[in-house]
Chain A
Amino acid sequence: MKKALIVLVLLAVIAAGAGWSLSAPTRMTEQQAAALKTGDPVKGELVFWAGGCASCHAAKDAKGEDLLNLGGGLRLETPFGVFVAPNISPSEADGIGAWSLTDFANAMTHGTSPDGANYYPAFPYSSYARMSVEDLGDLYAFFKTLPSVEGKAPGHELGFPFNIRRGLGLWKRLFLNPEPVIAAPVSGNEVDQVLWDRGRYLVEGPGHCGECHTARDIAGGLILSHWLGGAPAPTGEGRIPDITPVEGKFGSWSAADIAYYLESGFTPEYDSVGGEMVKVQENMARLPASDREAIAAYLKAIPVVAPTAN
């Protein structure tokens, strides 16, 4: 009896130990970190718009120059609780001004803070994990040129168990994977491979389109077998549309229609973009036309997925 108890206690200790080590925040390897170098802020600006940083980290209704003031404060009201976007301006006291390039890259690709805490995946690092070392270096250089904004944003409002950051280490083990989602263009399409690859990089990486356009499971992980198949809106009302080439729906948009929508905000039927997609579209409109064509080429040659129950 006593022996059994000892065994049980030992097992519990082992399980707790395993849970603790499995939930440990990860970082880049030394080799990966050594490849980082501060890049070109002019190129970094394009990465900034592709990544949509301002859509969450600038003030709620910011337009124009105000999009460069990344003081945070936007509230994302989700089923898990309220996430409040933090200050990521170059303020040393309140923003990320004191971060090294390695700190920045670990946050972007591992969701790990400089002091080793896990970030919540409301910050879409599981997409940013696919970003290139060059883009991270350029983006870091661009961030350094932005205005410093004073004041910290309030903390998240989350209930148990979502308020335990350590637990996110386990989430990352399950869902953080820098590999591409779609291995190759769907056959039967005439594809410019270089253009398609660029589109895949933009959509799956910095553009983080899957974060809203893909349904999530109960643990909040993206269901990759339903990639871009549409999902209930993560905040507010309505549904985020399926952007796989489904016949009669998004599939009836030509590549030129998709590129024009991202540039102008008008659908082929001349309905206008709405909701959160307005900010996304305005970001995409700042990219070179070739990038919008690349996104369109990618979206035209990905698998159609079965609708999800939720």
Chain B
Amino acid sequence: MRIVRNVAAIFMLAGLGFTGSVQAADDPIATRQAIMSSVGAAAGLGGGMMKGEVTFSPVAGKAAIATMNAAAASFGDFFPEGSDQGDTGALPAIWENADGFAAELAKFSAAAGKAMEASGKDGPADLDAFKAAMGPVFGTCKSCHETYRKKN
């Protein structure tokens, strides 16, 4: 009886977990928005250090760069056909010109990957090294937003 109950509990847990992941896959808009808000937060931290509003530290620099890198690696997977409807800032151009959008994503991940490499194990040594690594990543934001995001 106890075994049955445990098995049932395991199935329920598995079921919950399963339901959870189905929801994520069902709601690509929420997922990509969560990823992009982490990009925004990393840009806020990085930009704050560049402007001198936040004190630079190598570990913070690396956190910002690693966030960009993780986002660049996953963001593009959450634009399935049909996810242009709903509460989204995505423009139809993403699906109409899929190659162009992929090229913008490739620029983002290339820049973030290079920054990741440059930041090494302990993060960029100083603010100038951070600016040199992160600058090109920042540059890719607007080249994509120019064509593929709704004006707001």
Contact = CB atoms under 8 A, between A and B. Distances in A.
A274 B146 contact: yes
A286 B147 CA distance: 22
Contacts of A277: 151
Contact of A269 (B40, B51, B151): B40
A266 B42 CA distance: 13
A62 interface: no
B141 interface: yes
Give the bracket for the number of chain B residues in contact with chain A: 10 to 19
A185 B142 CA distance: 32
Contacts of B91: 237
Contacts of A273: 142, 145
**Chain B interface SS verdict (over half):** helix
Nearest to B43: A270
Interface in A229-250: 233, 236-241
Give the bracket for the number of chain A residues in contact with chain B: 20 to 34
Contacts of B43: 266, 270, 272
Given A265-B141, A266-B138, A269-B40, A275 B47 contact: no
Contacts of A77: none
A274 B142 CA distance: 6
Interface of A: 233, 236-241, 260, 264-266, 269-279, 281
Interface of B: 40-41, 43-44, 47, 51, 91, 138, 141-143, 145-146, 149-152
User: Which 9 residue pairs across A and B have the least CB separation, nearest first?
Assistant: A274-B145, A272-B141, A238-B151, A270-B43, A275-B151, A278-B146, A270-B44, A238-B150, A272-B142
Given A274-B146, A274-B151, 10 more contacts: A236-B151, A240-B151, A260-B51, A265-B141, A266-B141, A272-B138, A274-B145, A275-B145, A275-B149, A278-B146
